[in-house]
Structure 1
Amino acid sequence: MAAGVPASFYACCCTAYLVGITGFLAPVLEETVFRGFLMVALTKWVPTPVSIAISAAIFSAAHLTPGQFPQLFILGTTFGVSYAQTHNLLTPITIHALWNSGVILLLTFLQPSTIRTVTMFMEDPVRRM
């Protein structure tokens, strides 16, 4: 770390970077692949509910977290249903982006060190400068 730069600055930069990647880039790429290409292709051969389930299952498996498969499957199904109802890829992208950003921000602000830092700044306004 550079001398004189507070650690909280780096924490904020890391959080902003994570929100940018997981809150914008990942949803655009994932929804384009799983809903825009895969689900649309599947609906040519199987009914829409089946294509939603298949794309949600592949979406869940692609995250490589077996313990979270049920939650990811439900999220993937939600994204698929939203796309099937609106035929607009921006709908699942927006839901996905809000979900990912919310999770990152929640995890960031629930960390004990972050809570201590925020509390410290609230109690001693001089330290903010």
Structure 2
Amino acid sequence: MTAISRKLRDDRGAATTQLVLVVPVLLLLAMLVVQFALVWHARHIAQYSAARALAAARTKDGTAAEGRAQARRSFTALGGRILTVPSVAVDRTTSQTTVRVRGTVMAVVPGLHLHASGTATGPTERLTTPTGERP
């Protein structure tokens, strides 16, 4: 038997072994890329919902309940499946309004539970005189 025929015989099955080892790793990497793209998108949805809720809650006649309702409408329009189990917290005082939105990101990789959040803060609208006092 020649050296060339022995070498060819020794390499049999190498491609199958490499395929079995490499393909699952590549699939996992692709799934992780998709998962983190969803996290990035969910963050934007949470931030947008917080900004919309802030705009509704900080008006002169606005309430925290109106802010929460606006955030829910934003979730429904943008990310009902991507940002699951959303929670909205609206803190409205006479001088400042803060909205915090948090939710769980849809899982692509089994067992990986990631969260996304967004916060928006702004002054509460109120009537004042030119000297800064309330009428």
Q: TM (normalized to structure 1)?
A: 0.51
The answer for the alignment partner of 1:28 in structure 2 is 43
Give the letter aligned to residue 28 of structure 1. Answer: R
The answer for the alignment partner of 2:110 in structure 1 is 106
**Secondary structure of the corresponding residue to residue 76 of structure 2:** helix
Query: Over aligned residues, Cα RMSD in angstroms?
Result: 3.2
1:40 is aligned to 2:60: no
Higher Rg of the two aligned structures = 2
The answer for the alignment partner of 1:7 in structure 2 is 23
Q: TM (normalized to structure 2)?
A: 0.49
Q: Which has the higher strand share?
A: 2
1:57 is aligned to 2:73: yes
* Distance in 2, Cα, partners of 1:31 & 1:62: 10
Identity of aligned residues (%): 6
CA distance change for structure 1 residues 56 and 49 in 2, over 3 Å: closer, same or farther?
same
The answer for the alignment partner of 1:115 in structure 2 is none
What is the total number of aligned residue pairs between the two structures?
Answer: 86
Instruction: Compute the displacement of 1:88 (Å).
Output: 7.0
Instruction: Compute the displacement of 1:107 (Å).
Output: 7.8
Unaligned runs of 5+ in 1: 109-129
Give 4+ residue runs of structure 1 displaced > 4 Å after superposition: none
Q: Which has the higher helix share?
A: 1
Unaligned runs of 5+ in 2: 1-14, 92-97, 113-135
